[in-house]
Chains A and B, each alone.
Chain A
Amino acid sequence: MANGTIAATGKAAEVDFYHVKGRHKGILSWLLTTDHKRIGLMYLVFIIFFFLVAMTIGVLMRLEMLSPGETIMKPQTYNSLFTLHGVIMIFLFIIPAIPAVFGNFIMPIQLGAQDVQFPKLNLLSWYLYIIGGALAILSLFSGGGIMDTGWTFYVPYSVRTTTNVSLSVFAAFVLGFSSILTGINFIATIHRLRCPGMTWFRMPLFSWALYATSWIQILATPIIGITLVLIILERALGIGVFDPTLGGDPLLYQHMFWIYSHPAVYIMILPAMGVVSEIIPTFARKPIFGYVPIAISSLAIALVGYLVWGHHMFSSGISDTSRVIFSLLTFFVALPSGIKVFNWVATLYKGSITVSAPMLYVMLFIFIFSIGGLTGLVLGALNTDLHLTDTYFVVGHFHYVMFGGMGIIFFASLHYWFPKMFGKMYNEKMAKFAAYWIGIGFNVLYFPFFIMGYLGMPRRYYDYLPEYQIWHIISTVGSWILVSGILLMIANLISGLKSGKRTTDNPWGGTTLEWTTSSPPTLENFEVLPTVTAGPYDHTKIHGQEENK
């Protein structure tokens, strides 16, 4: 157990962290690093890789849906692909993306710390993430074929199918462990390593969001961990736990699965909301409206998010009493989310807004996420859910909140912190163009899902009745627009990385601590340990803005 902070004795403190001479050279200086910035970047590489893989699978699924009947693949392939798309997107992209990349890279700097509390544990988390990813890939090529259970691994099917469920489930278990260790690390960091003067309510809202997220990671992930182990044991040894032929209750499996997986939805979205709360004050040149409500609403979302998992089970045979209770509680989650949205909009009011690429993504997010949130209420209401459950409406809803929420904000964070991470700037015009293009593609792709779902198109089918074809065609065309937009964005960022202009320490006029240090930061993040005397969004004193003008 490594504890404590890392302090410098070297004189090389002014060199950025890419050029610091450590104990190891070349690739080992990355693989054996305990520097939170390098670990964050290593996550970034693999998270983008897995995102592109799952995105490709998604495009293939859309191609299959272009016409009724078999278009490019057999039903079994389609079953495997939607399972893979879900598993990779959820466990390898959405859950870790913002905390593991930006939480690692930015959060300690925002707190005025030199690293996270447990740097070695942080590296271990990364290795567990990589091992989990490798196992997931390995499961495709071994055992009885690619898993076809859907990402929810519902029993009894997951116990009976001959496909390679055990290894994929074990991969998810390892990824969960990685997630837990990151959560522990972040909570300890926030408790122990805030710089002098950084009280709880002077903490940037991104760090607040990560604090709430980490708590969910710690309190929810173990439940899915043990549930997945039970599936493996049940498959391997025939132990009676969930299998109804042995007296087991598959509904208890669904309870345990959603006890994790519903709060996990907030693991996905809370860090994104934190990023939004950083970007909006920066580009509106105003202190955030309602700092304390936003900070507390993160905790409130984490809390209420625990009480609503049953709304995934409205049609699966749980008791009427619990359906009513879960439906009621579901409406309460809308409150803290609403608080955030209204505070963001109030921050923009009378601000002097600069619409740079990160801000554009944030506005796209608010638009898309509001649609996702409102359709969530339609699904949370018991009676409408019974009509819409397991249709494309549900698929549309969670793509609007997950991709439109977390995914779009992942892109926003990339653009916002890109100059800080790499010390260079991408092509702003191209970035904005890609943002518009992504926004159009996204809505063309996913909005027809709501209509199809309302008309009764069931999810997870490789075939459909001809009356739905027009909507499927529109949606598939949307997927081409969206993917070209994403590829354009990534190409633009890579060319910025290669030949972008050098940037200043604070190109946006940000007010949090990461903008007071150099771009890219030094190994220790700060040459002089910062001391904080005011809240995080004070625009009267912006570091480094004079030299910009």
Chain B
Amino acid sequence: MSNHIEHAEEIHEIHIHRDDFGSRMGLWLFLLTEILLFGGLFLLYAGYRYIYPDGFIAAATELDVLLGTINTIILLTSSLTVVLAIVALQKSNKKLSMFFLWITVACGLLFLVNKYFEWGAKFHHGIYPKGPALQNMSEGEVLYFGLYYVMTGLHGLHIVVGLAFIGFVMWQIHKDIITSTNFQKLENSGLYWHLVDIIWIFLFPLFYLIH
């Protein structure tokens, strides 16, 4: 091969072929890892709830069901608007698509604000790791709140990442990089957002609705 080397003068140009399905498959595979990441936490939750059924019931009374319900509805609505944004973009309605995405972002932020007040109230009452109120609670309650903070915290982090992803996609729609014929990135951000929604669908009854 060495006799060919001197011919390699021109810059080697490469271009990328689009493979929307391959890209979606990659994202789905990533979502599976997310499911199992939370799966590990759900496993712990199941184990500790089995060991300390009473502690979990006692601890759950500290949570505000109404606030949880409102947050559930907010997230479900944001999921709907992402889908509607895709439908709108497919119909070449860029403005409407952007409008739906703005609603999604607003919902995501609202969810985080609610979460902030919810966590803030707990902290105020001394229910946080090594906090005064938590130290007087039973072992089951301590573990409940340990898992509560880790799971809702990690979920909140995913909301932030999802919002960043959607923000990036909105910028690309604005720049006409994502269009009615090339919208896999929008879809992928939507898939990610829906997964975050699904995780909340399970977190909600498991933490808020125990009696």
Q: Which residues of A contact B (CB under 8 A)?
A: 1-12, 14-16, 19-23, 117-118, 121, 180, 183-185, 187-188, 191-192, 218-223, 225-227, 230, 233, 237-241, 246-249, 252, 255-256, 259, 423, 502, 518-520, 523
A241 to B41, CA, bound (A): 10
User: Out of B14, B139, B184, which one reaches A246, CB within 8 Å?
Assistant: B139
Is the pair A241, B147 in contact by a Cβ cutoff of 8 Å? yes
Is the pair A3, B37 in contact by a Cβ cutoff of 8 Å? no
A255 to B44, CA, bound (A): 10
CB B180 to nearest CB in A, in angstroms, measures 18
Q: Given A1-B27, A221-B33, A20–B8 Cβ distance below 8 Å? A: yes
Please name 14 pairs of A and B residues whose Cβ atoms are closer than 8 Å in the assembled complex, sorted by A. A3-B18, A9-B15, A12-B12, A21-B8, A21-B12, A118-B26, A187-B25, A192-B21, A219-B36, A225-B40, A227-B40, A237-B130, A241-B150, A519-B1
Is the pair B11, A19 in contact by a Cβ cutoff of 8 Å? no
Is the pair A222, B34 in contact by a Cβ cutoff of 8 Å? yes
CB A92 to nearest CB in B, in angstroms, measures 21
B118-159 at interface with A (beta carbon < 8 Å): 129-130, 138-140, 142-143, 145-147, 149-150, 154
Determine the residue in chain B with the shortest Cβ distance to A35: B14
Residues of B within 8 A of A3 (CB): 16, 18-20, 22-23, 26, 184
Is the pair B146, A246 in contact by a Cβ cutoff of 8 Å? yes
- Check if B17 is an interface residue, CB within 8 A of chain A: yes
Question: Of B45-53, B75-83, B97-105, B198-206, which stretch is located at the interface?
Answer: B45-53
CB B74 to nearest CB in A, in angstroms, measures 26
A219 to B37, CA, bound (A): 9
Q: Given A1-B188, A223-B36, A249–B12 Cβ distance below 8 Å? A: no
CB B141 to nearest CB in A, in angstroms, measures 9
- Check if B32 is an interface residue, CB within 8 A of chain A: yes
CB A190 to nearest CB in B, in angstroms, measures 11
Is the pair A11, B10 in contact by a Cβ cutoff of 8 Å? yes
Is the pair A15, B7 in contact by a Cβ cutoff of 8 Å? yes
- Check if B110 is an interface residue, CB within 8 A of chain A: no
Given contacts A14-B4, A238-B130, A239-B149, 8 further A-B contacts (CB under 8 A): A3-B184, A4-B18, A15-B4, A15-B5, A184-B26, A184-B33, A223-B36, A237-B129
A7 to B16, CA, bound (A): 7
- Check if B87 is an interface residue, CB within 8 A of chain A: no
CB B207 to nearest CB in A, in angstroms, measures 15
A423 to B15, CA, bound (A): 27
User: Out of B4, B34, B185, which one reaches A1, CB within 8 Å?
Assistant: B185
Residues of A within 8 A of B8 (CB): 12, 15, 19-21
Is the pair B16, A239 in contact by a Cβ cutoff of 8 Å? no
Q: Given A3-B18, A3-B19, A240-B129, A23–B143 Cβ distance below 8 Å? A: no
Q: Given A226-B37, A239-B149, A117–B26 Cβ distance below 8 Å? A: yes
Is the pair B150, A184 in contact by a Cβ cutoff of 8 Å? no
Determine the residue in chain A with the shortest Cβ distance to B29: A184
CB A68 to nearest CB in B, in angstroms, measures 42
Residues of A within 8 A of B37 (CB): 222-223, 225-226
CB A483 to nearest CB in B, in angstroms, measures 36
CB B17 to nearest CB in A, in angstroms, measures 4
Is the pair A247, B40 in contact by a Cβ cutoff of 8 Å? no
Nearest 3 CB-CB pairs, A to B? A247-B139, A4-B17, A3-B23
CB A269 to nearest CB in B, in angstroms, measures 22
A47 to B45, CA, bound (A): 38
Residues of B within 8 A of A2 (CB): 16
Is the pair A23, B11 in contact by a Cβ cutoff of 8 Å? yes
Is the pair B16, A219 in contact by a Cβ cutoff of 8 Å? no
Is the pair B51, A249 in contact by a Cβ cutoff of 8 Å? yes
Q: Given A21-B10, A117-B19, A246-B143, A233–B150 Cβ distance below 8 Å? A: yes
CB B173 to nearest CB in A, in angstroms, measures 15
Is the pair B41, A226 in contact by a Cβ cutoff of 8 Å? yes
Is the pair A14, B25 in contact by a Cβ cutoff of 8 Å? no
Is the pair B19, A4 in contact by a Cβ cutoff of 8 Å? yes
Residues of A within 8 A of B117 (CB): none
Residues of A within 8 A of B188 (CB): 1
Is the pair A12, B33 in contact by a Cβ cutoff of 8 Å? no
CB A454 to nearest CB in B, in angstroms, measures 36
Determine the residue in chain B with the shortest Cβ distance to A176: B33
Q: Given A4-B19, A12-B7, A246-B139, A20–B25 Cβ distance below 8 Å? A: no
Is the pair A7, B19 in contact by a Cβ cutoff of 8 Å? no
A240 to B127, CA, bound (A): 12
